[in-house]
Amino acid sequence: MMLRAAGKRLLGAAAGRQASPAGAARRGYHERVVDHYNNPRNVGAFDKDDPDVGTGLVGAPACGDVMKLQIRVDEGSGRIVDARFKTFGCGSAIASSSVATEWVKGKQMEEVVAIKNTEIAKHLSLPPVKLHCSMLAEDAIKAAVEDYEAKKAKLEKADEDGTPAGAIRTT
Amino acid sequence: MALSRRLLPLFLRRGGGVARGPCSPAPARALSTAAAPAEVVEEESITVKGVRISGRPLYMDMQATTPVDPRVLDAMLPFYISSYGNPHSRTHLYGWESDAAVESARARVASLVGADPREIFFTSGATECNNIAVKGVMRFYRDRRRHVITTQTEHKCVLDSCRYLQQEGFEVTYLPVRSDGLVDLAQLEHAIRPDTGLVSVMAVNNEIGVVQPLEEIGRICKEKGVPFHTDAAQALGKIPIDVNRMGIGLMSLSGHKIYGPKGVGALYLRRRPRIRVEPQMSGGGQERGIRSGTVPTPLVVGFGAACEIAAQEMDYDHRRATALQHRLLDGIRAQVDDIVINGSMEHRYPGNLNLSFAYVEGESLLMGLKEVAVSSGSACTSASLEPSYVLRALGVEEDMAHTSIRFGIGRFTTEEEVDRAIELTVHQVKKLRDMSPLYEMAKAGIDLKSIEWSQH
């Protein structure tokens, strides 16, 4: 009887130290990272050759992080209407690219290139060792925008030159 | 056991308070006019490091450590509770019975490896044994022997001891291994010099489970007159070891890898021909001067009991582990393709299965496998960002090295656990492959090696 009470007290003390949600995040994944991992938003792909789509592919398999971010831009307003991503990387990389797709939706292209990796890192409470994941996400956004602009410039040039439709344009 | 399991969720739910009986209501609550707070009913789950899981995970990490066999615990408890004497106390019964127990355990450990009890010295674990073996031997023979040979896939403690010796002016050859993880015997023979003082090759690798050809290595070392040290922490009680047949001069053994207690190990030091070492622990000269410090009787008794059980059950455990390994491998292979087994399948301890899943990153896979306790590579290196050095030594490409998972099967692993592990792994791998741009590109027929990546 006494032993059981002593045991209860010991267990109580141990459990009391464990049950601190703020402490759980200290050396583990932040809740948001786990949430994005379990319920990733906007996983998928657009057709790469679609003229409204910009594709950014950054990273390298050897480094353990590859992100592909695609944006669909409304030609008239220059606004990003939809985004998709695919990532080969750790949980923080997946979360960073997932967050990136959420943030670019509905914004102008000039706005999204201003998104900084520090904002993504802060939103996910990334530890210093995982900051490169947010960097990669920022690069992915920029690469997607660049790709779209380059595509647009090529199409406009093709129009001016009067190049036959079959060369670059795909309907 | 069952009592604590019932109590633990109670305390996790209540946040650590001791339950109050109905006879002592909180005085403040009785006078309050505010509505009483609603009873919060949480489902029984554990939230650790931001991850919520229901119940404890399936344990499939036997290479990291093993649960203590209940029979071992039974053997140990009397030495904690009643026969708690110091085995070096020569003047009373407590010391005498403790000493007798230590010597009995020593005999059991010795008989499992075919050695004489006088050749077994108890230490705090295999890491300490490796330190004594590598540094102790070389320092003792420092005048005549200046060279050490080891492999690139050794345990960190051996590699670190060798690095330490290099700083002291010794020379070390780190032999490469073949792509199946085995050491090349011709290369080994070629590397031995007249001033080679030690050859250290581990028996069973902790990360990939590959079994080295100990008899052949022992034969080569005996011919050349070089002591052969093997780290047998993962091999003890799992594959038959005979120090004479294998020509072993020094051997490191660990307790907690064979269902024994943590914190104990043993060093085997050959008597004929005698291998001398410089002790790393100075003190009262216990363990024939090799390792000073009170020998922890309960731990040593547990180690002895574990060895005795292992001797009896080695065959049965081996057959069972083989069957479970096939079940696991076939189960995963049936549903997922593009997986690679790291290390030789023929020369392998069946309880260790190290798989690489192409196009999926290891850490993200582990994050989703929180209901199965597995490891990516070795537990020692999982904290760093580098891909496992053992896999790199096998010649595995960096992107594949990032994707490896090590499943450990042991004496207490059940078929249900294996089936559930298969289910969870396959589910996670499929989910991550859907999310992977590399998988997408590979399925579209693009050769990933031809792409110029924008590296950082």
Residue range A68-103, pLDDT digits in tens:
999 999 888 889 999 999 998 888 889 999 999 999
Among residues B23, B157, B162, B380, the one annotated as catalytic is B380
B399 interfacial to chain A (CB closer than 8 Å): yes
B292 compared with B18, residue with greater pLDDT: B292
Q: Which positions of A are catalytic?
A: 63, 133
Q: Average model confidence (pLDDT) for chain B?
A: 88
ipTM over 0.85: no
pLDDT of residue B267: 97
Which residue pairs, CB below 8 angstroms and at least 24 apart, start in A126-135? Answer: A126/A30, A126/A33, A126/A92, A126/A96, A129/B385, A130/A90, A130/A92, A132/A65, A132/B456, A133/A65, A133/A89, A133/A90, A133/A92, A133/A93, A133/A95, A133/A96, A134/A92, A134/A96, A135/B456
pLDDT band at B53 (very low <50, low <70, confident <90, very high): confident
A14/A164: higher pLDDT: A164
CA A45/CA A53 separation, integer angstroms:
10
Q: How many CA atoms lie within 13 A of B29 on its CB side?
A: 6
Amino acid B333: pLDDT: 94
pLDDT band at A1 (very low <50, low <70, confident <90, very high): low
Going by their DSSP bridges, the two strands B171-175 and B147-151 should be labelled as: parallel
At B365-403, the pLDDT tens digits run 888 888 899 987 544 445 565 678 898 899 988 777 777
**Residues of chain B above pLDDT 70, percent:** 87
Tokens of B418: 């294996």
- Do residue B49 and residue A29 have CB atoms under 8 angstroms apart? yes
Question: What residues of A are in contact with residue B4 (Cβ under 8 Å)?
Answer: 7, 11
Contacts of B441 (CB under 8 A, 6+ apart): B448, B451
By the 8 A CB rule, do A32 and A55 touch? no
In whole angstroms, give the CA distance from residue B156 to residue B149.
Answer: 15
Phi then psi dihedrals of residue A82, to 5 deg:
-155, 160
In chain B, residues with a C-beta closer than 8 Å to the C-beta of A40 are 435
pLDDT at A13 over 50: no
- The CA distance from A40 to the nearest CA of chain B, in Å, is 9
Residues in B touching A18 (Cβ below 8 Å): 12, 48
B204 pLDDT band (50/70/90 cuts)? Answer: very high
- Averaged over A122-151, what is the pLDDT? 89
The model's pLDDT over B321-347, given as tens digits with 9 standing for 90+, comes to 999 999 999 999 999 998 999 999 999
In this complex, do B435 and A25 lie within 8 Å of one another by their Cβ atoms? no
